[in-house]
Amino acid sequence: MSSAEDFRAEVAVVGLGAMGSAALYQLAKRGVKAIGLDQFAPPHAQGSSHGDSRITRQAVGEGRNYVPFALASHRIWRELEAETGETLLVASGCLVMGPGSGETSHHGHRDFVGRTVDSARAFDIPHEILRGDEVGRRFPHFTGLRGDEVAYYEPGGGYVRPERCIAAQLRQARELGAEIVTGTEIRSITQDGGGIRIEAGSRVIRAEQVICCAGAWTAHLLGAPFTDLLGVSRQVLHWFALDPAEAVPETGPVFIWMHGRGDSDYLYGFPRLPGEASVKVATEQYEKASLPNAVDRAVAPAESAEMFRRHVRSRIAGATERVERALSCLYTLTPDRGFIIDRHPAMDRVLVVSACSGHGFKHSAGIGEAVASFVTTGRSDVDLAPFALARFASGASSRVA
């Protein structure tokens, strides 16, 4: 970066994780003079976009409004693969499964399997509906099935490699002319008559517009109303060693398995990745809030033991209690578990893209494309109105227009 006190850009992107790296790449593709800023050195393990793999599915039980982002993301990752030679998206298949009777909830939505099927039908996404006994026959490493489960299977789903996706987009953005500054604390974002002023370490950056993708640090940077809307929760990822005597396939699907009624009565996981002798699984918790700069990054052995006892034992053939590794990550949550993509109510040159509420990475490349289009042309091919702040305040009006 220039050593001058002020660096001027058309658009500054604050935060270069899932959303920020995608937005910066898409801006650079459009020839925009853009700068990306991050307090860490992405891809990193301090936020929400690490851990080797993230589930991707094109039919989205969280709602039809998300599907265009997922579809665009798959297209963009394939384009990036062709440009870079990297493997970013593995279409291993995706299985979303719940009990055949009784209520369930996932990401705050009832009948998540049914909602996923509804999205698939609305967008003609290839899929199958399976019962528990058929799941057991096709994927015998899933054990403990009652037989009456209902499952959605999407052959085009699978997993993406988050660190690789972020690194590839930042590398491409830099090659296309974007400026990138990392390891620099963003101290303030303010708007005046001349645009946006960002204090980043000892530097001052002036931009015509800002896309803020700061994740768990959004509320700290932007203040009200985000301090009231956004909560941060610590999540844990576990890799359990596999019994070498068990035949656990590398080609099985990623899965979301709701085995109880509540949002925490489920587990999700991945097939055994090539060359690995462990399986990655996790659940989610929303009861305990965290502060991003004070979160306990270490994972206690008791946490993995509880995960194995409650969710893994008797459900994943070959998984043992031995923990290969465990990591923590952060979710930034809105009250309705949806996204925010909207102008800051007090700074109309700041577009806030955050609060992915635990289901954002699969959408990130498509969101980057949509917001890059929005800030440069005033429009997006994807309807952004459902992600506006207006839904949290009766009578408020959206600034995405």
Q: What pLDDT shows up at residue 4?
A: 43
Q: What confidence score (pLDDT) does residue 262 get?
A: 77
pLDDT value of position 399: 43
User: CA 15 from chain center: how many Å?
Assistant: 14
Same fold, 6-50+162-228+336-392 and 91-160+231-333: no
**What are the two backbone dihedrals, phi and then psi, of residue 211, each rounded to the nearest 5 degrees?**
-110, 115
Q: Tell me which residue of 354, 349, 350 sits closest to 367, measured CA to CA.
A: 354
CB 365 within 8 A of CB 19: no
Cis peptide before 43 (omega within 30 of 0): yes
Q: From 392, 95, 124, select the one nearest 268 (Cα to Cα).
A: 95
Domain boundaries, the chain: 6-50+162-228+336-392, 91-160+231-333
Give the per-residue pLDDT at 100. 84
Strands (DSSP E) found in 283-346: 319-333, 340-344
342/354 Cα distance (integer angstroms): 9
Q: Which helix (H) or strand (E) holds 195?
A: strand 195-200
SS3 325: strand
pLDDT for res 400: 44
Question: In Å, what is the CA distance from 54 to each residue of 135, 172, 396?
Answer: 22, 21, 35
CA–CA dist 134, 278 (Å, integer): 25
Residues of the chain falling short of pLDDT 50 = 1-4, 395-401
- Spatial neighbors of 320 by CB under 8 A, at least 6 apart, are 240, 241, 242, 243
Kindly state which CATH superfamily the domain 91-160+231-333 is placed in.
D-Amino Acid Oxidase, subunit A, domain 2 (3.30.9.10)
Contact 21, 38 (CB under 8 A): no
379/295 Cα distance (integer angstroms): 38
Fold of the 6-50+162-228+336-392 domain = FAD/NAD(P)-binding domain (3.50.50)
pLDDT at 5: 57
